[in-house]
Amino acid sequence: MSIEIYNSNSQSTEKIQPAYEGIFQVTLSEPDEKFIARPIFKIEGFKTGIIFIDPNEEVATSQINDKEITLVDVRPASILKKAIEIQPDDTKMKEILTNIESQDYGDDELLVLDQISASVAIDDYGQFSPEAQTEGFALILSALSGNEIARKKVDFRLNAYYKLTKDKIDTEREEILKDKNNEYYKDIEALRWGDVAFVHSTKYDVDRNEKGVVILRSHAHHSQNDENPYPRATLHFTTNAEVESHLFGQWIKSNRLIVTRGQSIIDANGLPARMNTIDTYWSVNPGQPLLLEGASVVEPKSDLDQLFIDDKENNTVFYLDKQQYTDSERLEIIRLQSIQLYERIYQNPADREYELERLDSILNLENYADKIEQLKGNESALLRKMALDAAMKQQGVNTGPLRLEQWSTTDQSFDNSLIKLSLELGIPYGIHAGSSESMIEDRYGRNKLHPTNRFTGGRLEAQRTLVALGLVDTKIVDTAPSDLDG
């Protein structure tokens, strides 16, 4: 039975028809100056009624009586703390609370997130509810507080939630696999992971563990304590190219680049959630990193005494990034470009050496005046591309960087081979903006009168991140008189 709190024309605070017998009852608060009321849950075992609110939300004083109402925000830690008031000797729940507060998510902590998701997303018929159910927070709080009736309801919803989510993902994969023999792609050879260099751009310091493995974390992890955190559960890469500024975002050229060979990231982290040459991403649980063993890092430096350092031993490439370059430095950039080109064209070292000697015999400021002039303003970008080329070689990918357009690379054959690979693996091909994960992670367009149920598609990792940050909308009730009321 669902809770009937949708009578927007009623200003009554009389007790609404009881629901969830033996678990809780619900009433409405006094409307505030904007005629907004909120459901108050009287949960078995708690002395005061509870209003569930969004983190950092302000609630009108007229709706709060300190002796009768407690505000609980919908972050998992807040719900657990409230449950511990009823179960003070539950050491397991205290341990889970400590781990969630420190973003240390194991199986027990993820289970709590899934129980919350299921409680607000699934109805008593085992189907997705049209709206996120604020009463689900009362249900999970009651279950965590020891109410056996509530626990059984949560278990039922959790099983349905897992099944519905898995079924959607399995169905999508099956539809993709059917298309792998598509007439257009049937004669195209799938790309090999070893020929792919995944490139991630980041403004954050590069974190490595004691073994030197790069640890990459989602934006949600970095924004965990922000007042307006962004629920991004995905980590994004371009393939064999650097991400460029486009319609959906501006990318800072001074960002570090993390470059990893395709087979390496697959071995450590499994397959990506979605693939595209301009946007391949992995979906991660709260607190979970991607591990990039042996990854190379491209880093701009303003204080180098040379233009370019290819440190193969430490899988790092530095390049000089500054406002003004000298003509001599521009000439050296031309030489460095030629060296990289020769390494790809001339497989025989003797041939490369001959071509380089020939270049050095004519390379001077006078002969290359026009090219030096053309370089002005592009020096840092060219050095960055050369640094990416060197990092790709460190990863065993010798094809050189591609250039990205808005929706693809400039190499159609590369794009087609990656599409064929996605078809063979049953991985959706497309960018994040059109994905189910993107819809879940969207923090805009929220409607608290009718909170959208964002748990009806996408992967568990994105849904868990939304719950972990407390970004599931809580319901309010508009009690303003209708114009039709006269």
Percentage with pLDDT > 90 across the chain: 57
Q: Which of 147-161, 214-228, 238-252, 358-372 has the highest mean pLDDT?
A: 147-161
Whether residue 484 has pLDDT greater than 60: no
Mean pLDDT of 443-467: 80
Quote the pLDDT of residue 56.
79
Quote the pLDDT of residue 253.
62
* Lowest-confidence segment of 31-35, 278-282, 332-336 by average pLDDT: 31-35
Q: Assign 5 a pLDDT band (cuts: 50, 70, 90).
A: very low
Whether residue 4 has pLDDT greater than 70: no
Q: pLDDT tens, 404-428? A: 887 888 899 999 999 999 999 999 9
Secondary structure of residue 109 in the 3-state scheme = helix
Quote the pLDDT of residue 152.
95
Find where tokens 């890469």 sit.
Answer: 237
Q: What is the pLDDT of the chain when averaged over all its residues?
A: 87
DSSP string, 34-99: TSEE-EEEEETT-SSEEEEE-TT----GGG--TTTEEEEESSHHHHHHHHHHH-TT-HHHHHHHHH
177-199 per-residue burial string, b: 16 or more CB within 10 A, e: under 16:
eeebeeeebeebebbebebbbbb
Whether residue 450 has pLDDT greater than 60: yes
Secondary structure of residue 301 in the 3-state scheme = strand
Whether residue 18 has pLDDT greater than 70: no
Quote the pLDDT of residue 252.
55
Greater model confidence, 457 or 286? 286
Quote the pLDDT of residue 97.
98
Quote the pLDDT of residue 2.
33
Whether residue 303 has pLDDT greater than 70: yes
Q: pLDDT tens, 144-198? A: 999 999 999 999 999 999 999 999 999 888 888 887 777 788 889 999 999 999 9
- 130 and 94 in contact (C-beta within 8 Å)? no
- 34 and 11 in contact (C-beta within 8 Å)? no
DSSP string, 410-450: S-HHHHHHHHHHHHHHT--BS-GGGSHHHHHH--SS--TTS
Whether residue 245 has pLDDT greater than 80: no
Q: pLDDT tens, 463-482? A: 999 999 998 888 888 888 86
Greater model confidence, 459 or 4? 459
Quote the pLDDT of residue 126.
94
Greater model confidence, 308 or 59? 308
Amino acid identity, residue 118? A
Whether residue 235 has pLDDT greater than 80: yes
Instruction: Provide the CB-side half-sphere exposure for 62 (13 A, CA).
Output: 11
pTM for this entry: 0.86
Mean pLDDT of 75-94: 97
Q: pLDDT tens, 309-345? A: 999 999 999 999 999 999 999 999 999 988 888 888 8
Quote the pLDDT of residue 60.
72
Mark out the alpha helices in 256-310 (DSSP H runs).
Answer: 262-269
Q: Can you tell me the distance from the alpha carbon of 81 to that of 87, in angstroms, rounded to the nearest whole number?
A: 10
Q: Assign 299 a pLDDT band (cuts: 50, 70, 90).
A: very high
> Is 389 exposed, middle or buried, given 0-12, 13-18 or 19+ CB atoms closer than 10 A?
buried
Quote the pLDDT of residue 434.
77
